[in-house]
Structure 1
Amino acid sequence: SAIPKSTADSDKYCQSDSCPDSRLKNVGCGCTAATYGPQCKDRNARKTNLDGRLKTFLLDKHNTARSLLACGSVKPHPAAAKMIELNWNDELELLADCNTMKCVYGHDPCRSTGEFPFAGQNIASKLVCGKTPLGVEQMIADSVDVWFQEHRNTTPSMTDSFPQGKVPGGPIGHFTLLVNDMVERIGCSYITYQEQQQRGKKRTCQRHYLVCNYSYSNFVGEKTYTKSRQHPAEQCYFRSSKHSCLCSSSKSSGSNSK
């Protein structure tokens, strides 16, 4: 759950060096993540507490996707030499809360932390009308799947050097962030709030909104991941005990790949 930060803690996000680009405002500036924003008023906004089970579910969805690519199972994309198994980060989660608690869908300009100045972000939303509710796990699974399906728009040359501007086949940014091997940590936030359906007959629907922050981002000209020459995970110091094609991020767990 979101822990209200002290004023001093919130102030650190308001410093001119709190974002790599000093013209941008950090989403954490002035945020306590304990109160809903003005756009949430009268909309029955509810932030889901991401407990241990849901965090594990989010991590599993991400790591399974990363593992598929790392193993070489996503043709024509080559296997990965050192794709890291992701772990959770509370500060990235807190800054994701600062986004969702505004009840406004959209990327925030900057979510840098002291540890992760170049933090990236994937977002997803779904409007649900009618009687059938949408479960949190279903929304998470659907969202990560939609992000991952962008591998169809992505070519190996694009993951060798991230392209500038839009590419002809459709978006690639969600997929490439999902499988970026510089990313080691994620933190996410999930909220629901009421929204009026604009098309057809007007009715009140439920907006589901997921924000995931990543410890690194896509940069033009950078490779998304290091491709293996002989076999997956060949450059891992330790292998993940759960996903054989991923590296363990901790040197104290997993099995040595040597």
Structure 2
Amino acid sequence: MAPGRNSSLSSPQDTVLGMVALVFRVLLVMALTIVEKPPSAVLAFDYCAASKDLCQPPEARHVVCNGRQFSPACQSDPKHIKMKPEYRKQIVDFHNRLRNNLACGYFRRYAEASSMEQLQWDNKLARMAEYNARTCTFAHDECRNTRKYRQVGQNLAINWFHGVNVSVSEAIEKFQRHWFLEYSRGRQKLLDRYGEHSIRAGIGHFTQMVHADTRRVGCAMVRFRSVKEDLPVKQYYLVCNYSEGNLYERPVYRKGPRCSKCKYGCATNGTQYRCLCQQRQG
């Protein structure tokens, strides 16, 4: 073909280069598709799409639908606090000490518990808590259930500090103690059946902490800066999810001699929680 003329034909080299470019474009589109998937795709299971099967009522919005980005309510310099082993231990130990003391009958006005489970940390519950925490909004989500746990309970705490350096550990301790102190407003009757009177008494955080059949807990925390009363402040927001929540018209725990209804008896092997149920071995 005469030089200088355009041609619709291409050489083998041009064909190869064209194929490479096409493959590159396909791969690029695939990569963009992966990046642009909804945040729920970070999880192996799409909880947002399964809201109607996991949540009650079915039209409730699963917390995963929020995504993992910080919301505008987080204002300035938001940070997700990684739950280091020492923070997880602090939370689990506080709960188990409280549960053990109640089960032993050490609190006035409250009877011994015939079966009080020992809590363990759960990473999936903690992940669900993170979706709420990243909203920086002190509000229960409509649904946080998992495929394994279908009646997940939740405790929330938020506070701000000005002119004082409060560590993560100190904030966690403060929040948990605030939940626990609700016990002073309660009485045994309110725990024998969790109902309207229990709710009005304002003891829901305490009852969630000592719910006898709860076996797992997972928490998330964020820190951000804002302005309160014209003062620059630092805020902490803690969200804890529990494998089973306060169940309406059901007992928080069952009264009776300690461990008398535990399947494997009281905890042994030198544990400090001698009034909690022995965990199944293996």
TM bucket normalised to smaller: 0.7 to 0.9
**TM-score scaled by structure 1?**
0.86
CA contact (8 A) 1:84 1:246 kept: yes
Number of aligned positions between the proteins: 239
CA deviation after TM superposition for structure 1 residue 109, in Å = 1.2
CA contact (8 A) 2:121 2:217 kept: yes
CA contact (8 A) 2:190 2:198 kept: no
Change (3 A) 1:14 1:65: same
Alignment of 1:20-31 (within 5 A): 20-29=56-65, 31=67
Unaligned runs of 5+ in 1: 254-258
Instruction: State the Cα deviation string for residues 97-142 of structure 1 (Å, max 9, x = none).
Output: 0011112221111111111111000001111011x21111111112
Q: 1:193 aligns with which of 224, 230, 251?
A: 224
Matched-pair identity in %: 27
The answer to whether structure 1 residue 176 and structure 2 residue 207 are counterparts is: yes
The answer to whether structure 1 residue 107 and structure 2 residue 140 are counterparts is: yes
Alignment of 1:71-150 (within 5 A): 71-130=104-163, 132-150=164-182
Letter of the 2:72 partner, please give it: P
Letter of the 2:242 partner, please give it: Y
CA contact (8 A) 1:238 1:251 kept: no
The runs of 4+ residues in structure 1 deviating greater than 3 Å are 7-10, 165-168
Larger helix fraction of residues? 2
The answer to whether structure 1 residue 208 and structure 2 residue 240 are counterparts is: no
Give distance in 2, aligned partners of 1:163 and 1:136. Answer: 34
CA contact (8 A) 1:14 1:28 kept: no
Equivalent in the alignment of 2:74: 40
Equivalent in the alignment of 2:261: 235
2:158 partner SS: strand
Give distance in 1, aligned partners of 2:198 and 2:261. Answer: 32
More displaced stretch, 15-24 vs 54-63: 15-24
Equivalent in the alignment of 2:280: 251
CA contact (8 A) 2:40 2:47 kept: no
CA deviation after TM superposition for structure 1 residue 8, in Å = 6.8
Change (3 A) 1:30 1:106: closer
Give distance in 2, aligned partners of 1:54 and 1:166. Answer: 30
Give distance in 2, aligned partners of 1:5 and 1:191. Answer: 19
**TM-score scaled by structure 2?**
0.79
CA deviation after TM superposition for structure 1 residue 145, in Å = 1.3
2:77 partner SS: coil
More displaced stretch, 92-101 vs 237-246: 237-246
CA contact (8 A) 1:81 1:226 kept: yes
CA deviation after TM superposition for structure 1 residue 39, in Å = 2.8
Equivalent in the alignment of 2:251: 223
Change (3 A) 1:166 1:87: closer
2:53 partner SS: coil
Letter of the 2:266 partner, please give it: R
The alignment yields a C-alpha RMSD, in angstroms, of: 1.9
Instruction: State the Cα deviation string for residues 237-257 of structure 1 (Å, max 9, x = none).
Output: 143323101113x3118xxxx
CA deviation after TM superposition for structure 1 residue 95, in Å = 0.6
More displaced stretch, 64-73 vs 136-145: 136-145
Give distance in 2, aligned partners of 1:252 and 1:219. Answer: 28
2:89 partner SS: helix
2:251 partner SS: coil
CA deviation after TM superposition for structure 1 residue 40, in Å = 2.7
Change (3 A) 1:119 1:239: same
CA deviation after TM superposition for structure 1 residue 165, in Å = 5.9
CA contact (8 A) 2:40 2:64 kept: no
